[in-house]
Amino acid sequence: MLLKRLTEAFGVSGCEAQVRDIITEEIKDCGGNFNVDSMGNLIAFKKAKKENAKTILLSAHMDEVGFIVTDITEDGYLKFATVGGVDPRILISKRVKVNDRCGVIGLKPVHLTTKEERKKTPKEKDLFVDIGAKCKEDAENVVLKGDYFGFDSDYTEFGNMIKAKALDDRVGCLIMIEMLKKEWDVNLVCTFTVQEEVGLRGAKIAAKGICPDFALVIEGTTCNDLTSVPKNLRVTKCGGGAAISILDSASKADKEASGMLINAAEKRNIPWQYKASNAGGNDAGAISLLDGGIKTASISVPCRYIHSPVCVMHKADFDSCKKIVEGFLEDCGGVTDND
């Protein structure tokens, strides 16, 4: 299953090659062209069969949050820093994969901690990764200072839900792959971007100069529909349909583009919801400012426990997101107004 392969691949920001290789393999026979730029963004083009078609840019990021080795102790443990937004409270006792070697994030045993210590969240600097090395030299046979590593978490389905790491944003990558496998009456440009989690860096380069009529960023987004959380802080609801953004910390969605998404959903009876929060941000923040401004909107699959090894999404939300993007592309298929 492609989503399983995509989410289990390693792709911490700046090291997206495994993910890019899977995507490249999937799209190489789609009938379009693609190239990889100097940062590692994968850019795919598929021309419309008819003349004067609109150009639509779809964008999803390949990278995920993770870690970088900052030091190796004399007794073979790895010290690390996080890459992208990771809550230190979720790190203890998690499995990680360090250059194909299993590792665990450790902390001293509960027996030896004081009451006060147990009340506090350990700081990143107090944590370490145990890769089973005997000493520094032994560890250096596996990993070197400056190497990246990521969560080790398998793809699992339970009920109507999927648990995996990096659903943000391998779901977006998967939807774009599926769009590239179809024929559209628009010129389709898909940017699979790098380094979104560390400052929207890849998109600033990948989408420059394309000048599309509209851009859609396809994402995994925050879902806080947990028991005891007040309704006004839930952001999205798992199973409530794809989430269409209004405003976040990186961008204000273009009204025309987001209106077209809503219209595509409404007229096809596809469930959707607003992303009801202005927290967070995505590549739309970079893309919307390029080339004098691009009409950009974001549509996302709600993901519980995002930026953790156990992101959870509802299968129906993925279907909703995919169908709305399809509807959007169909609706854009008319002849463009531009000369």
Partner 1 sequence: MIRDILTTFSVSGSEKKVRQLLIESLKDKFDQVCTDCLGNVIAKKGVSQKLLVECGMDSPGIMVVDNSDGQVWFSAFGGLKPKDLIGKKIIFENGFCSEVKYDGEKSDDAKISDLYIDADSTKISIGDFGILNHEFTEDSESYFGYGLKSRAGLLAVYQAVQDVAGDFAVLFSAQKRIGGKGIKAFLGENSFARVITVDALCEKKDGGGAGIVAKDSTAVASVNLRKALEDTAKAKKIDAKTVVSDENFFGSSFLTSGSGADWTGIGVLVEKTEDGKEKLCKKDFENSVRLLKSAIEKLSL
Residues with active-site annotation: 196
Cα-based angle 120, 122, 123 (whole degrees, multiple of 5): 125
Count residues binding partner 1 (CB under 8 A).
26
Closest CA to 282 of 320, 249, 304: 249
- 163 contacts: CB under 8 Å, gap ≥ 6: 153, 155, 156, 157, 310, 311, 312
Residue 186 in 3-state DSSP?
coil
Tokens of 23: 């995507």
Instruction: Answer yes or no whether residue 36 interacts with partner 1 by CB under 8 A.
Output: no
Shortest gap between Cβ of 83 and partner 1 (angstroms)?
Answer: 24
Instruction: Answer yes or no whether residue 291 interacts with partner 1 by CB under 8 A.
Output: yes
Shortest gap between Cβ of 206 and partner 1 (angstroms)?
Answer: 15
Shortest gap between Cβ of 279 and partner 1 (angstroms)?
Answer: 7
Site for partner 1 in 293-322 (CB under 8 A): 293-295
Torsion angle of alpha carbons 136, 141, 144, 147, nearest 10°? -130
Alpha-carbon distance of 52 to 335, in angstroms, equals 6
Alpha-carbon distance of 58 to 296, in angstroms, equals 10
Q: Which of 277, 298, 300, 308 binds partner 1 (CB under 8 A)?
A: 277
Sign of torsion over alpha carbons 141, 142, 145, 147: positive
Q: Which of 41, 288, 308, 320 binds partner 1 (CB under 8 A)?
A: 288
Cβ nearer to partner 1, comparing 176 with 243: 243
Which region among 15-23, 123-131, 282-290, 325-333 touches partner 1 (by CB under 8 A)?
282-290
Instruction: Answer yes or no whether residue 201 interacts with partner 1 by CB under 8 A.
Output: no
Please answer whether residues 104 and 93 qualify as being in contact, where contact means their C-beta atoms are separated by less than 8 angstroms: yes
Cβ nearer to partner 1, comparing 246 with 310: 246
Shortest gap between Cβ of 46 and partner 1 (angstroms)?
Answer: 24
- 292 contacts: CB under 8 Å, gap ≥ 6: none
Which region among 36-44, 104-112, 273-281, 326-334 touches partner 1 (by CB under 8 A)?
273-281
Closest CA to 23 of 35, 13, 37: 35
Site for partner 1 in 50-79 (CB under 8 A): none
Site for partner 1 in 251-270 (CB under 8 A): 251-255
Please answer whether residues 59 and 210 qualify as being in contact, where contact means their C-beta atoms are separated by less than 8 angstroms: no
Cβ nearer to partner 1, comparing 146 with 230: 230
Q: Which of 92, 274, 280, 316 binds partner 1 (CB under 8 A)?
A: 274
Shortest gap between Cβ of 171 and partner 1 (angstroms)?
Answer: 23
| In the chain, alpha helices (H) | 2-8, 17-27, 115-119, 136-140, 167-180, 201-206, 255-267, 284-287, 315-331
Cβ nearer to partner 1, comparing 175 with 216: 216
Shortest gap between Cβ of 8 and partner 1 (angstroms)?
Answer: 34
Site string for partner 1, 209-248 (x = CB under 8 A): ---------------------xxxxxx----------xx-
Shortest gap between Cβ of 250 and partner 1 (angstroms)?
Answer: 8
Cα diameter, the chain: 73
Q: Which of 135, 144, 279, 335 binds partner 1 (CB under 8 A)?
A: 279
From the centroid of its chain, how far is CA 337? Answer: 33
Query: Which residues contribute to the site for partner 1 (CB under 8 A)?
Result: 230-235, 246-247, 251-255, 274, 276-279, 288-295
